[in-house]
Amino acid sequence: MHRTVSQLFLLSIICMGVCGAESLPSVTAPAAFDEEALPVSPARAISPVILDSELSSLHHPRTYPGCKVAPLSDIWDTEAAAFEKNADTAPVDVDDLMPDAAQALGNFQEMVTSLGGTFELKSAYRPLAYQAHLHEVWVKWVKELRNNRSSGCRALREEVGAEFSRHQLLVKQQPVQASDHTLGLAFDAAIAMPRGARLHGKRVTVDKLAALAGIKRPAIRRDPVHFKLLAARPADASYAHVSGL
Ligand SMILES: [Zn+2]
């Protein structure tokens, strides 16, 4: 069973199409991006017969007759299934972060708010299978269904589009399959600092405060909410000094 699911998942990656530039209306794109063209892959060459036999062996087969795109894979991992079920309402999972990452998050949040900034934690630990699901939803929507106008795919297109929107995915931001989130070493937070925020009389930025807390944004433009733990943390004394203000 697992093998079948992973095969389907592989198929969904192989079968990439080309698409335009529209995004879902409910999703707000981040400010700045490189205008790179999406990769072009050759057209799919997989027999619908093989695909159908694969699908019929799934736990909950949902077929869309007349649509050559395979439905989303089932989520087998129970931890990931719980994340999926509560994706709209569940609190962010900070408890499963590694201790150093949890500590850095706490220190960072305290610094930002003590200097008058706002801190909105979006995501922290994510199970590997849940991350894989996010990746699959993105690939299926952006590469296979977004510009698919075939009437046979209409129902699947609606389902995957709703899933894409529910998870607040962005067309220009493809989730990776395994990430620092799955290792408990990263979190996503939307942060705004007041103009001219100062620490010890010096201007401070979000990234300056992040460095003081022992974290960094590896891709500020492409993924501005993503912070990961630095390999080597600064001495605790430096934070004690900061928080004493
Ligand atoms: Zn992230």
| pLDDT tens figures, 120-143 | 999 999 999 999 999 999 999 999
- Considering the domain boundaries, does residue 230 fall inside one? yes
* pLDDT under 50: residue ranges of the chain: 1-61, 235, 237-245
- Considering the domain boundaries, does residue 58 fall inside one? no
**For residue 123, how far is its CA from the centre of ligand 1 (angstroms)?**
7
Between strands 226-229 and 118-123, the pairing is unpaired
Residue 201: domain span: 93-126+179-243
Q: How many domains does the chain have?
A: 1
* 3-class secondary structure, 227: strand
**For residue 165, how far is its CA from the centre of ligand 1 (angstroms)?**
17
- Considering the domain boundaries, does residue 120 fall inside one? yes
Q: What is the pTM of this model?
A: 0.62
pLDDT in tens, 187-214: 999 999 998 899 999 999 999 999 999 9
- Considering the domain boundaries, does residue 148 fall inside one? no
Q: What is the mean pLDDT of the chain?
A: 77
- Considering the domain boundaries, does residue 211 fall inside one? yes
**For residue 218, how far is its CA from the centre of ligand 1 (angstroms)?**
10
**For residue 188, how far is its CA from the centre of ligand 1 (angstroms)?**
5
- Considering the domain boundaries, does residue 229 fall inside one? yes
What span, in angstroms and rounded, lies between the C-alpha atoms of 235 and 217? 20
- CATH number of the domain residue 122 falls in: 3.30.1380.10
Q: End-to-end CA distance of the chain: give it in Å, rounded.
A: 57
- Considering the domain boundaries, does residue 156 fall inside one? no
**For residue 214, how far is its CA from the centre of ligand 1 (angstroms)?**
16
**For residue 237, how far is its CA from the centre of ligand 1 (angstroms)?**
28
- Considering the domain boundaries, does residue 170 fall inside one? no
